A and B are shown apart, each in its own frame.
Chain A
């Protein structure tokens, strides 16, 4: 990055940066490299036992009998949980979490039993010996846009309006000199963190507080505690959740899934013994959430000079019949570009499939694919540079609300990214560059992600042994919170960062929000700044041993006055093999405007990680659901392809300097998700430029660009 691109306002964020902005190494890095950082399934407990799930092999019906005789006969089997024998939960309002509460099966892979045994091997053997008899009902697991049972959800994730309309989109389509109407699709996708969803659970009924301990791989210990306590009918203080390190989550560990509830139930079946439950990779494809497939009908109405008269996106996607999750795929179209006429809608098919959930940038990630490819198609139609077309439609204010943007530097990202990528002078013609047997092309797409601040998070700061020690139940899911939060607290306290420690990942610490929506640094950082200010206000610059104060994240009044988003521009170079159609991405660059960057080293890592995940989405990721069975066929990492090192070539992320005084005291916007957002569209646009073949359905596999024999 350079500091010469001053693209902010004349105001600066409240906090003067000293530790903020330094590229400090991860504080948890050495422990992770040395293997001393423990993950949920290897939590330090005495004498653990192991739980193995029995999963349904039908997509809909009833597990009318579960024969556990053979399993229970094995040496070392301690308990077999079935719908008939499992404890009755206090709350079954969330059907995903109502584990073993009745014999109904709502999707293939649902938990219909579980075995607890002295060893992992015995548990696995016994689980395979549990005999389940089903009463099979006809199931329906095929999404299409022409189903007659599509319905309108009350709202879309998390609480957005389902449909919006401004002006008259139909009239714009009827009158505009240039219109474009296309259908784009993104497939079902699975998060696939390296660390599987896992819990080590211990039930000690004689203890009051902390009777249930869960070492859970999660993006939020407090959300897990409140959810599990409610499901089991425990007081929150009876449940302790611990999670210092997470081997990736990408949203799939944002909301507790059935595995965590099962772990608690298994622990309560064998009081005093810690129970380990880790999902197999295959089970992660049915029990840990996923991104819904999306069908996006996009309309653009434009003047010959590129000015949009209208933009619309009508989305069809799926949810599970047992629980609704409505991805907000149409939402980014509401405020991305200026246009007087606009429509966004969401319709769902409720199918007999696993429950969809959060996956990195839910909404923005799939929802920027269709519109950003459509803009590329429009640019070609108009004979206009696709960078300039986007700049031509830059809004002065949020088109949806009319509010000003706190900062919006999409244009700066496009300009700077274009320059760094070598975009100027690009030959716009598709399919004309054959180099060494590969068709070469370049493409661009924009990215956006909202600035979220969660309403609840509290930090304690104390002075102890000559150091400042803060505590907050935040989560570091590989993102860098262990390192970044001390940087923020140090600047808020006005001390060197080495004098500050921030302890996270335990419900023993004050409550914190989920590491989701790229909101962690904003939310927890704001709580830390509030606590630091109050600490200094009460104890001054020279505190005494044991001085301590607690403060919560304040509301941000500015969020009523401003629209707040981060922006980015993705540039991709794609090579398509002239003989085989193999698609490779020699260059992938991203330039972002995400407020002040708290730690450049960790931020770059986040952005590159998002872009790499976007590369996988662009080229290869595809959960193939067999509608005959209702299960994802390619449910392992050999067949569900994520990008390997060999797929990643020249990958770069940087950012423009942006001073945003409104988002939070640090001036930071979230960066965990925006890296994925525009990647797939940029790659697809570049593939068109390389070959002249417009691929509107991801992933962009070789068969879609392969010429005939």
Chain B
């Protein structure tokens, strides 16, 4: 861990300017991930700009939806009565992540910007294209149980660790960003990148851009939504696979579905092919499995020294089927 400077500016504009001015500056939110990385030597920024007191900690009504300030802790967002009734998938996703203590610290703006939990990324003694571009991917051919099966590249097979982000992707959330050149809005599904040949870039955010809020649009069908996380222990583990889903059923036929996957890609994976396959389909395990198959056509499991992650195909399929089955039952 290298010495670094610390600033606590008075407002978000000043914070953005401070970070934009220095290539080695980063924003500090709840610190639940960044501070670990400082200790491990994964990152060595020269300046931390603390935004925890700057961004909104309010959840407000906006045009039928909710605007969640970037400073809202994960625990408060999960406990909000409006979120619990209108977007249960989001509350469930939040509560399935981390621990009570971490959720108290982690923020809405910071959570989507967590880095991968790939153990090779976190271990500075092993090559990693995400940490050190061009050094190689140690995960390929190594321990791959927790790695991606969708959207991978020969340079990186890491997964995105957030549960909250999977729900946000399913809900078509919008990310409000303040940058040196002003504000912009990014669809949540476009915030995260696939690794391609630049796995060092997790998101489309430019240096100095700060998430100030996330908008949850009005989505009546989300009142019947679920987050199902499957992991290696009952609590305090990252998803092997997860499914965020909302289902609108009419007379045994699917009108519309919103589906996103976690634990299987470099980004929260919006399953649009599965959604398309479900539109107009009869409610049945077979339709749900066909939807999973449509989404997983291009899946590429990884072999690995730990047995690899081929099991994720069956696991994700079965988890999606079960989640949709439960939602359809709820509708009936």
Contact = CB atoms under 8 A, between A and B. Distances in A.
Interface in B111-150: 117, 119-120, 122-123, 125-126, 138, 141-143, 145-146
Interface in A591-636: 619-620, 622, 624-629, 631, 633-636
Residue with the highest number of chain B CB atoms closer than 10 Å, among A125, A625, A628, A703: A703
Contacts of B142: 626, 628-629, 633
B289 A633 contact: no
B305 A626 contact: yes
Q: Interface SS of chain A: helix, strand, loop or mixed?
A: loop
B57 interface: no
Given A626-B305, A701-B232, A706-B314, A579 B319 contact: yes
B43 interface: no
Interface in B142-186: 142-143, 145-146
A629 B126 contact: yes
B233 A643 contact: yes
Interface string A120-151: 01001100100000000000000000000000
A631 B143 CA distance: 11
Contacts of A619: 232-233
A697 to B, nearest CB: 9
A580 B319 contact: yes
Contact of A639 (B117, B138, B240, B321): B117
A638 B119 CA distance: 10
A639 B318 CA distance: 24
Nearest to A701: B232
B245 interface: no
A643 B236 CA distance: 10
Interface stretch (A251-259, A349-357, A411-419, A644-652): A644-652
Contact of A706 (B141, B145, B292, B315): B315
Contacts of A557: none
A708 B314 contact: yes
Contact of A638 (B117, B125, B322): B117
Q: How large is the interface on B (under 10, 10 to 19, 20 to 34, 35 or more residues)?
A: 35 or more
B119 A579 contact: no
A494 to B, nearest CB: 49
A422 interface: no
A641 interface: yes
A633 B120 CA distance: 7
Q: Interface SS of chain B: helix, strand, loop or mixed?
A: loop
B220 interface: no
A633 B1 contact: no
A67 interface: no
A707 B235 CA distance: 23
Contacts of B232: 619-620, 641, 701-702
Contacts of A125: 1-3
B235 A709 contact: no
B275 to A, nearest CB: 19
A140 to B, nearest CB: 14
A708 B141 CA distance: 24
B318 A633 contact: no
B317 interface: yes
A584 interface: yes
Interface in A57-88: 57
Given A626-B143, A644-B236, A645-B235, 10 more contacts: A55-B125, A581-B315, A581-B318, A620-B232, A626-B305, A633-B142, A638-B117, A646-B233, A703-B315, A708-B314
29 contacts: A121-B3, A124-B39, A282-B123, A579-B318, A580-B230, A581-B315, A582-B230, A620-B233, A624-B145, A625-B305, A629-B126, A631-B125, A631-B126, A633-B120, A633-B123, A636-B119, A639-B117, A641-B233, A644-B235, A646-B233, A646-B234, A646-B235, A647-B233, A647-B234, A647-B235, A702-B232, A703-B315, A707-B314, A709-B318
Interface of A: 55, 57, 121, 124-125, 128, 282, 579-582, 584, 619-620, 622, 624-629, 631, 633-636, 638-639, 641, 643-647, 701-703, 706-709
